[in-house]
Structure 1
Amino acid sequence: MAFADVILSRLDELDLNVNQAEARAGLPQGYIRGVIRNDEKRAIPNLDKAARICEALGLEFYFGPPRDHGAVEVVPPKDDDFAKIPIHEATLAAGSGSVNGAEEIVGTLAFRSDWLRKLGVVASKARVARVHGDSMAPTLCDGDMILIDTSKTEVVSRSKASRRRPPPIYAFVEDGAARVKRIERIDEDFYAVMSDNPEFQTEFKRKSSVNSMKIIGKVLWWGHTSQE
């Protein structure tokens, strides 16, 4: 289809004549008419003029490699490809603790079942919650979602090889407040409860104190929320 024919068709769609279209777009009189004349004097616009006319009429002006306009086939996933993990209303403070009321489930978040298996997580033991506070920043930011494996409720000693990596992150309840921190067993009697934010000091706790905590589970995944 010729450029002039496209413009004429668009004018019909907008129910505008040439003068109205030029006036509405603030174009000089005759700017569009010159390219749609029905005689041999029809002008062939340069790229700049063609682009300006298209912009005035709400048309896309594209000049480049051929684009694929074919239909895209959408294949819905099978139900067994994904596991729906409950999202709890409770927040887990990355600071001194967040007191939550009920552990109400407010929705679900779908994770690929094969990905959960690679993590070693049984879907029925997985839970999702949100982080509150900045003591675990930049690893965990305020509002981030975390995936918790509730089958991992014991802080175990790590091997020398694994100590090259940061200690694991746990979600736990202490004195009625829900928290999320790194916990490392130092020796038979003491544990370190650590924040990733250097402004927060490491807490050293006796074994009896850690045993009195309710370890909700080990944090295995987190998703950052944009702070912009």
Structure 2
Amino acid sequence: MAFADVVLARLAELGLNVNQAEARAGLPQGYIRGVIREDEKRAIPNIDKATKIADALGLELYFGPPRDHQPVNIVPPKDDDFAKIPLHEATLSAGNGYVNGDDIVVGTLAFRRDWLKKLGVSASRARVARVHGDSMAPTLSDGDMILIDTSKTDVLARSKSSRRKAPPIYAFVEDGVARVKRIELVDADFFAVMSDNPEFKTEFKRLATISSMRIIGKVLWWGHTSTE
């Protein structure tokens, strides 16, 4: 289709004549008319003029590699397929201590219900928060989001046979500081609070102190945040 034909079709679509279109766009009189004339005086516009005419008519003038115009089949998700999990304002320290704000819900993140079911977490018991610090690197990085199952709070229930695997990660509050660490039972008297970053030492605590910690829940999933 010729440029003039596109312009004429767009004018008809907008319900405008040439004079109206030129005046509305602030173009000189005859600026558009010159490219749609039906005689030998029809002008072939250069790129600059064609662009201004296209802008005036709400058209896109594209010059570049061929573009893929194949239709994309988009199936909108059903609301029932997703659960909105609360995102808390407080961050969880992956270092030696970080003072957090109040435990306020600042938004929600949508997760597929069937995926949550595979993780074994009820949507009503799931929470999302952010990590602060690098003591759990490279597993957890500063700014990462983590999904917590608040129904799993028994940090010392792990059997000895499962110690071949890495100890689970828990979110907890200790001395008013929200933290995220691996926790593992050592023996009948002690448990360990461990970091994945070797620069941070393992903390050994007596079992009696577990009662002073508020276990938020077990970390089941995390998403890395790019800072580049």
TM-score normalised by length of structure 1: 0.70
**Amino acid of the structure 2 residue aligned with 1:133:** G
**Amino acid of the structure 2 residue aligned with 1:88:** H
| Cα deviation digits, residues 21-49 of structure 1 (max 9, x gap) | xxxxxxxxxxxxxxxxx9xxxxxxxxxxx
1:126 is aligned to: 126
- Unpaired stretches in structure 2, ≥5 consecutive residues: 11-20, 32-37, 39-46
Task: Supply the distance in 2 between the matched residues of 1:65 and 1:110 (Cα, whole angstroms).
Answer: 33
1:114, distance to aligned residue in structure 2 (A): 0.9
Matched, 1:67 2:61: no
Q: Is the 8 A contact 1:54 1:61 kept in 2?
A: no
1:77 is aligned to: 78
2:41 is aligned to: none
1:147, distance to aligned residue in structure 2 (A): 0.9
1:44 is aligned to: none
User: 1:69–1:120: structure 2 CA closer, same or farther, 3 Å change rule?
Assistant: closer
Count of residues paired in the alignment? 210
1:213, distance to aligned residue in structure 2 (A): 1.2
Matched, 1:160 2:161: yes
**Amino acid of the structure 2 residue aligned with 1:219:** V
User: 1:110–1:198: structure 2 CA closer, same or farther, 3 Å change rule?
Assistant: same
Task: Supply the distance in 1 between the matched residues of 2:167 and 2:61 (Cα, whole angstroms).
Answer: 54
| Cα deviation digits, residues 30-74 of structure 1 (max 9, x gap) | xxxxxxxx9xxxxxxxxxxx9xx999999666755963147x544
Matched, 1:102 2:102: yes
Task: Supply the distance in 2 between the matched residues of 1:131 and 1:125 (Cα, whole angstroms).
Answer: 19
**Identity of paired residues, percent?**
64
Tell me the SS of whatever aligns to 1:124.
Answer: helix
1:210, distance to aligned residue in structure 2 (A): 2.5
| Cα deviation digits, residues 63-109 of structure 1 (max 9, x gap) | 55963147x5442423x211111111111111112233431111111
- Unpaired stretches in structure 1, ≥5 consecutive residues: 21-37, 39-49
